[in-house]
């Protein structure tokens, strides 16, 4: 049987062979380890306009790729200062070409650390490619790639919003597609829910929770676990900031809560946090530039999927560096992508 690392290497070396117009290699050939790394670096160059599904995503690859994170559970993500700078990415939602554009603009994971805030699948047409590539990179570069869980990394949600149907339709068989989808769900149930960058920047997919007391509360959440309809775990992937109400309010999503500026400021003060970074939400104010500050700059929402559902929004990736100023000891810079995916 092919080893997981060999499958990952094969995936890296083939995932966009026919998609980059600047590549001269049109044939699939056997390569050495160093050549395979160079191939991945080439694959982060400007993607073509065409969407092509990867024929190498088959049952064997998915089975081996999803087995390793289960055997070696993904631990809570704690990013130290030595790991900076780090690129923080918001929702991707199956927009595989945009993920590759991010690597082209910001650097490949061999040389650049990445933190993904979740929502890799659903709604976009290439959720399989998107989650497969991020998982492969996480396995091959475990200290360079950090993955968090979003509300769409869930059995019920991904069954309703596209990823389940994508798996079934891609493999032309209900039983096989259903079985492979369940393997991804097993991995989703192991993903960390939050990350701390140098103990000062709290990163999460959704937001804050009234059930949060200390960071140890998050570490104590048992995994694997499905996302419940209520409680701390639910809020971390579902809650939203709200400037219309004070304190905590019931969310119009029909699940979890919304929280006000005072809640954010109190959270930062009690936990000695400089900034909360989250994804999960695309508001009208974010259509241009793909991000929005809240609570006097204490909370930042980013969204990394441009032209999401044809809203013509920009995508944004956050870069947290070691340089001084702006927010405490960090410099925050942004890389926005226009709806045509050209770096501005």
Whether the Cβ atoms of residue 267 and residue 288 lie closer than 8 Å to each other: no
Among residues 84, 12, 20, 85, which one has the least CA distance to residue 49? 20
For 238-264, what is the mean pLDDT?
97
Residue in the structure block whose two tokens are 């500050």:
293
Give the three-state DSSP class for 319: strand
The model carries a pTM of 0.84
Among residues 118, 131, 137, 119, which one has the least CA distance to residue 170? 131
Lowest mean pLDDT among 160-164, 199-203, 239-243, 254-258: 199-203
pLDDT over 60 at 42, yes or no: no
- Structure tokens given for 109: 């994971």
Helix H or strand E encompassing 185? helix 174-188
Lowest mean pLDDT among 28-37, 63-72, 221-230: 28-37
Predicted confidence at residue 40, as pLDDT, reads 36
Predicted confidence at residue 146, as pLDDT, reads 95
Which residue did the predictor score with more confidence, 67 or 247? 247
Predicted confidence at residue 28, as pLDDT, reads 28
Distance CA 283, CA 73 (A): 34
For 33-42, what is the mean pLDDT?
36
- Structure tokens given for 209: 């929770």
Distance CA 203, CA 256 (A): 18
Lowest mean pLDDT among 166-180, 212-226, 317-331: 317-331
Among residues 231, 203, 190, which one has the least CA distance to residue 71? 190
Predicted confidence at residue 76, as pLDDT, reads 73
Predicted confidence at residue 25, as pLDDT, reads 31
Predicted confidence at residue 226, as pLDDT, reads 97
Predicted confidence at residue 248, as pLDDT, reads 98
State which CATH number among 3.40.710.10, 3.30.70.20, 3.60.21.10, 3.30.420.40 fits the domain covering 76-178+189-337. 3.60.21.10
Report the catalytic residues. Answer: 152
Which residue did the predictor score with more confidence, 332 or 166? 166
Among residues 337, 311, 300, which one has the least CA distance to residue 291? 300
Per-residue DSSP letters for 207-272?
---TT---HHHHHTS-SS-PPPSSSHHHHHHH-EE-SSSSSEEE-TTSSSEEE-HHHHHHHHHHHT
- Structure tokens given for 116: 């993904």
Cα angle at 249 between 243 and 251, to 5 degrees? 90
Which residue did the predictor score with more confidence, 64 or 254? 254
Predicted confidence at residue 322, as pLDDT, reads 75
* Distances in whole angstroms, Cα of residue 309 to Cα of each of 14, 184, 302: 28, 24, 16
For 53-71, what is the mean pLDDT?
76
Q: What is the pLDDT of residues 154-188, one digit of tens each?
A: 999 999 999 999 999 988 777 889 999 999 999 99
Rounded to the nearest 5°, which phi and psi values hold at 307? 50, 45
Whether the Cβ atoms of residue 77 and residue 114 lie closer than 8 Å to each other: no
């Amino acid at each position: 049987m092919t080893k997981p690392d060999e499958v990952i290497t094969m995936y890296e070396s083939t995932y966009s062979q026919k998609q980059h117009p600047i590549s001269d290699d049109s044939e699939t050939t056997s390569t050495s380890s160093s050549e395979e790394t160079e191939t991945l670096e080439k694959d982060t160059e400007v993607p073509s306009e065409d969407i092509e599904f990867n024929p190498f995503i088959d049952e064997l690859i998915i089975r081996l790729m999803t087995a390793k994170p289960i055997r070696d559970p993904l631990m809570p993500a704690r990013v130290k200062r030595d790991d900076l700078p780090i690129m923080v990415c918001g929702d991707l939602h199956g927009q595989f070409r945009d993920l590759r554009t991010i690597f082209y603009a910001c650097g490949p994971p061999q040389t650049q650390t990445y933190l993904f805030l979740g929502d890799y699948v659903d709604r976009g047409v290439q959720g399989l490619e998107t989650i497969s590539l991020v998982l492969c990179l996480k396995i091959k570069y475990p200290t360079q790639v950090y993955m968090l869980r979003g509300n769409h990394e869930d059995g019920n949600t991904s069954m309703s919003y596209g990823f389940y149907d994508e798996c079934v339709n891609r493999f032309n068989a209900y039983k096989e597609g259903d079985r492979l989808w369940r393997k991804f769900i097993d991995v989703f149930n192991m993903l960390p829910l939050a990350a701390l960058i140098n103990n000062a920047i709290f990163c999460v997919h959704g937001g804050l929770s009234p059930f949060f007391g200390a960071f140890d509360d998050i570490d104590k959440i048992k995994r694997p676990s499905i996302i419940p309809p209520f409680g701390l775990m639910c809020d971390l992937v579902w809650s939203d900031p709200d400037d219309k109400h004070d304190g905590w309010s019931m969310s119009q999503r029909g699940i979890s809560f919304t929280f006000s500026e005072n809640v954010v400021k109190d959270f930062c003060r009690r936990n000695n946090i400089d900034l909360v970074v989250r994804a999960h939400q695309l508001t009208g104010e974010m259509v241009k530039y793909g991000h929005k500050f809240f609570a006097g700059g204490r909370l930042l929402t980013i969204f990394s999927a441009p032209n999401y559902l044809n809203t013509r929004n920009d995508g944004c990736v956050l870069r947290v560096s070691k340089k001084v100023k702006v927010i405490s000891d960090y410099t925050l810079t942004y890389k926005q992508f226009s709806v045509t995916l050209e770096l501005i």
